[in-house]
Structures are given as structure tokens and as C-alpha cells.
Amino acid sequence: MKTGLTAIPYALRLLLIVVLVGLWQVFCSIGLLGTGIVPAPVTIWHDMCAVMGQSASRAALWLSLRDILIAALIAGAGGIAVGMIVHPIRLLRAALEPYLASYYAVPTFIFYPALITVTGSGRLPIILISIMLGIVAMITTTLTALDGVSRSIVRTARVFGLTPLQNVMYVRIPAAAPMLLSGLRLCVSYAFIGVIASEFIMSDAGVGYQIAYAYDNFDTDTMYGYIGCVVVLAAATTLGFDMIAAEPVKREGA
């Protein structure tokens, strides 16, 4: 049966994690891994439960997650919009291309302190730096995705006399959807890094800040609790994306 077969990779993936975490637990229990180096999974689980049990910690996690989603959405939507506008204008694209290609050579993070001096501290510079991290990846992905839309499909849209907006909504975006989704996924990953690392460096709230605070106070239990929560959140978000992305891929027959 088809559904049974497609479920096998998922089961294997889950099994892999269970085995690895199991081994880790065993090594800790028999003293092969000193708990001074790394706590056992069960311990981290307890730490995570302790963290989630406090409303202040939940608020910190929620704050970070909210800003991650805001930054990812703005970077994604903005990147798609810029890509859509730039793509048909060949000269503009040719002019921009080298900048887009070398953008990630500059560690965007160095602008974070500069941003704070402009906007003041708070959530705004954190969201802005996270958008800056992701948006160029989204622009590049959009350009590549649009290049991949076949000539005959583009021409069909023209023959049907679509308005530019209809063309984007009904042809370009759906035709490019599988790649656009992977671009969005990149934006989410960049936003995770951007938000949590900024909180780490300079801020007074959010899960990154809480991790740094616990670390500074030698409170490793809390630190590991937060780290565990972030890992689970990031994994869950990526998984959610993959499930959405699987739909058009199925249709493409890939």
C-alpha cells in the first residue's frame, strides 16, 4: 500500500533519533559521558519541564517565537515581492546580481549594534537584523524559481491576457511554489538564528537572553532546559514546513 510505504522513512527517522538519544542516555548512566560535560537526556527533559512550568519562561519563549515568525514572514514576503519585481527588469537584475551574490560574505550581525543606536534597544532591532539575514536568500531563491518556470507556461499566461497581478497570483507564484517554500524555510532558519543570537548578545528579553542569563549565573539546569525547548521548537517548525512543502512536490511528481 502506498501510504504504508511512504510512512517508512518517517518511522526510520524517528527510530534514528530514539536510538541516538537512547545511547546518549545509556552512556551517561554508565558514566561513559560525565554529567559534568553534558547532562543526560532525562535530566534535560526534567529541565525543560521545569522551564515550561514557569509562566515567565513560557513568555520568554513565546516572545522569541513570535518575533521569529514576524521576521521570517516579512523577509519571505518582502523577498518574494522584490524578486518578482526585479525578475522581469533585466538590466536591474544584472546590476543587482553581484551584490546579491556577495551579500552573505558580510556578516550581517555586525550591523546589530549599529541598528540599536538607530532604533534604540527593544524588539525592533532584533526583528530588523533577522529580516536582513533572511531577505536576500529569499530574493535569490525567488529569482532562481522564476527562471525555472518554463517558457511555454509564461507564454500561455500571456496568451490568456492576464493582468500583471493575475499573472503573478495565478501563474508565477504557483509555478514557482515548491522553490519559494524552500526559500521561506531558509527565512525561518535565519530568523531563528537572528532572533536568538541577538537576544544573546544585547537585549533584555527573550529566550536567547534567558539562556545567556542562566549561563552567567551558573544555572546550567535552566540553560539546558531552554536549549532543549529551542531545539524542539525549531525542529517542529521545520517539520511543519516540510509537511506543507510536500503537497506541491507530490503534484509535481518529484
Q: What is the DSSP string of 60-73?
A: HHHHHHHHHHHHHH
* C-alpha cell recorded at residue 150: 518554463
58 interacts with other proteins by CB under 8 A: no
**Of 41 and 174, which has the nearer Cβ to other proteins?**
174
Binding mask 111-150 for other proteins (x = CB under 8 A): ---------------------------------------x
Q: Tell me the C-alpha distance between 125 and 112, whole Å.
A: 7
162 interacts with other proteins by CB under 8 A: yes
Q: What angle do CA 31, 15, 30 make, to 5 degrees?
A: 10
* C-alpha cell recorded at residue 101: 551574490
13 interacts with other proteins by CB under 8 A: no
152 interacts with other proteins by CB under 8 A: yes
Q: Tell me the C-alpha distance between 245 and 239, whole Å.
A: 10
Q: How far is the CB of 84 from other proteins (least distance, A)?
A: 17
Query: Which residue of 28, 65, 171, 179 would you call a contact of other proteins, by CB under 8 A?
Result: 171
161 interacts with other proteins by CB under 8 A: yes
User: Would you mind telling me the total number of residues written for the chain in this entry?
Assistant: 254
Q: Are 66 and 122 in contact (CB under 8 A)?
A: no
Interacting residue ranges for other proteins, rule: CB under 8 A: 150-153, 155-156, 158-162, 166, 170-171, 174-175, 177, 248, 251-253
